[in-house]
Chains A and B, each alone.
Chain A
Amino acid sequence: MNKITKQKIPTELGTEKVGKLLMQYAIPAIIAQTAASLYNMIDSIFIGQGVGPLAISGLATTFPFMNLSAAFGAMVGVGGATQLSVRLGQRDYESAKIILGNLVTLNIIVGITFGAISLMFLDEILYFFGASEATLPYARDFMEVILYGNAITHLYLGINASLRASGHPKESMYATIITVIMNIILAPLFIYLFDWGIRGAALATIISQTVTLLWQIRLLSNPDELLHLQSGIYKLRNKIVKGILSIGMSPFLMNAAACLVVIMINKGLRTYGADGDISIGSYGISNRISFIFVMVVMGLTQGMQPIVGYNYGAKQYKRVNEALKLTMIYATVVVTIGFAICEGIPELVARAFTTDSELIAGSARAMRIMSIFMPLIGFQMVTTNFFQSIGMVNKAIFLSLTRQMLFLLPMILILPHFFGEAGVWYSMPVSDFVASVLTIVILKRQFNEWKH
């Protein structure tokens, strides 16, 4: 009747071949992780080719906006899903239902509030995020549609997190994939056939999410499911809301930090760039590309986590080592492919997004600089997640923050003073490099400690 009953930790984690396990656990994670970024890339291609180079640049100024919206969505979604899984672990279905209902209500409230406030100050915010008079119309057209549908986006993500937490990881993955595929079909239809421009791309996103949301709701309305939507669960409860917000605070901060980084980069490029729009557009394109490889590595490390966690607990350190090494090798292969593409054929890649020669040249240059130390970040990310898998959460958080915040932000602020626009670009690989060296040092120290 239900799939919520005890998800046993399979003992195969301690016996099956590590390489086989890694594939088995990593592939679904990689699909889930890359689906969204793959979609973002394809969307950018449609917009770049179908609408024009300024649209690409306008789109790039909406990235921090999307991050910020995701931050609020994640706050409610992660907070709610976490509580949900604790309740389900206690087989406390009554409380779990109320959490699900509260999550839905909160998603709607936060989604609508964020959308409404953002719509009120849309132009101001977009200028602040790096838009120019030339790119603002595109950014505005895109964001308007996205913001009107903001509550739907939040609800879709929140319910998907709940599905995952309630023993439906497959359905949650399907939801992601369906949304992406629908998007890829609708976006060109709206942009090319209906000639709706960048609005069409945004509309495709919202429509796909709406359809998926309806499917999710139908799935969760089945009264045979122990956890299902029903009346009487939507009224907000003080304790649950507090719990959701306090747990959700950290994912919120992580996303908000990502938003801040992109704003700083956009602002740096606007201030120091010869042509700010071209520079920001170039960043948008290179960001889309490098993100895909980062997301594949993210999926790999997620696949590694249960294997390392289990075997570390079972004191099978040989298997821990093997899993770590193997993941590092795979991750390094992935980012090295990314490195080869970004260094070797960046013009070709950029051409997929635009026909504008300036934007192609700018993007190629950006990719070449940004990916200088890309082969190192596979190792860096795997190590970060390794520490998390074995319960050393402080180290994991610290290492993750170094690459994405602690080293990056000061560099973005300082380097341009000396090197101008190049300083903004170089801040990214320099931060990658410093973080990677630090990671090697910390990992080495840890292994030495274990030897004693």
Chain B
Amino acid sequence: MKYVISIGRQLGSGGKEIAEKLGRKLNITVYDKKLLEMAAKESGLDTTVFEKADEKESDSFFGSVMAFRNSIADAISGYGSCMQSDKLFEIQSEAMRKIAGEESCITIGRCAEYVLREHPNLISIFVTADMPNRIRRIMKNNNLNEEKAKEFIAKADKERKAYHDYYATTIWGDSKSYDLCINSSRLGIDETVEYIYGYVKRRLAL
């Protein structure tokens, strides 16, 4: 039986680590942004390849700012001309659905719980963590001081919410949007993985 586990997460919650450990345990691939982009390219869906030479967008590529700028640009060039980031999201979603149709997997981010809403065996999870833990994690992973880490987290929260809520009809981080919401600070990463593993097993009646 094919199934998909979508993991949404706050920055610094350990969501990615949890996804990877869970993936190893279940022996399925974890698709993060990079892998999804590659998959989109390989599948030939990504024919337009929106290479962003300018603007240094990386992760802030989307979000409200992007939507805002895009619609200004849209207003300049006439209404309703196709927006590039919208198209990119569409292509990535298409790739995600294709992958989810072919194999069991874990996805990280990208509004997967909305994109894959029609998948019969979708298990959607959202990982949070306490602020001090998030800050510590970001300081360590990104080599930042506390001040910078806090800023980084605040910015990422805003951007992820804007990106998610623009593209999905569900609300980012809202318990109504997911099957399971969990704070990784309570049990720690490894125990949280175990807990989710148990939940997945029950759901799939493995």
User: Given the known A-B contacts A247-B71, A250-B71, are A82 and B78 also in contact in the complex, defined by CB atoms under 8 Å?
Assistant: no
Q: Which 9 A-B pairs have the closest CB atoms?
A: A251-B75, A313-B49, A89-B90, A250-B72, A254-B75, A392-B54, A250-B71, A313-B48, A400-B76
- B197: Cβ under 8 A from any A Cβ: no
User: Given the known A-B contacts A393-B70, A396-B76, are A90 and B81 also in contact in the complex, defined by CB atoms under 8 Å?
Assistant: no
Contact check, A305 vs B73: say whether CB atoms are below 8 A apart.
no
User: Given the known A-B contacts A86-B89, A302-B81, are A397 and B47 also in contact in the complex, defined by CB atoms under 8 Å?
Assistant: no
Shortest Cβ distance from residue A210 to the other chain B in the assembled complex, whole angstroms: 21
Q: Please give the residue numbers on chain A whose beta carbons come within 8 Å of chain B beta carbons, in ascending order.
A: 9, 11, 29, 32-33, 74, 77-79, 81-82, 85-87, 89-90, 92, 95, 161, 164-165, 239, 243, 246-251, 253-255, 298, 301-302, 305-306, 309-310, 312-315, 384-385, 388, 390-397, 400
Residues of B within 8 A of A305 (CB): 77, 81
Residues of A within 8 A of B93 (CB): 89-90
- B189: Cβ under 8 A from any A Cβ: no
Contact check, A394 vs B51: say whether CB atoms are below 8 A apart.
no
Look across to chain A and name the residue whose beta carbon is closest to the beta carbon of B46: A313
Residues of A within 8 A of B117 (CB): 92
Shortest Cβ distance from residue A91 to the other chain B in the assembled complex, whole angstroms: 9
Look across to chain B and name the residue whose beta carbon is closest to the beta carbon of A299: B78
13 more contacts with CB within 8 A, not counting A249-B68, A251-B75, are A78-B71, A89-B93, A90-B90, A243-B165, A249-B71, A251-B71, A254-B76, A305-B77, A306-B82, A314-B47, A315-B49, A315-B51, A391-B53
Residues of B within 8 A of A86 (CB): 86, 89-90, 166-167
Contact check, A82 vs B48: say whether CB atoms are below 8 A apart.
no
Contact check, B70 vs A239: say whether CB atoms are below 8 A apart.
no
Cross-chain contact of A388 among B64, B77, B165 (Cβ < 8 A): B77
Residues of B within 8 A of A392 (CB): 53-55
User: Given the known A-B contacts A254-B75, A396-B76, A397-B69, are A391 and B50 also in contact in the complex, defined by CB atoms under 8 Å?
Assistant: yes
User: Given the known A-B contacts A33-B78, A239-B165, A396-B73, are A309 and B84 also in contact in the complex, defined by CB atoms under 8 Å?
Assistant: yes
Shortest Cβ distance from residue B162 to the other chain A in the assembled complex, whole angstroms: 9
> Which of B54, B67, B117, B165 has the most C-beta atoms of chain A within 10 angstroms of its own C-beta?
B54
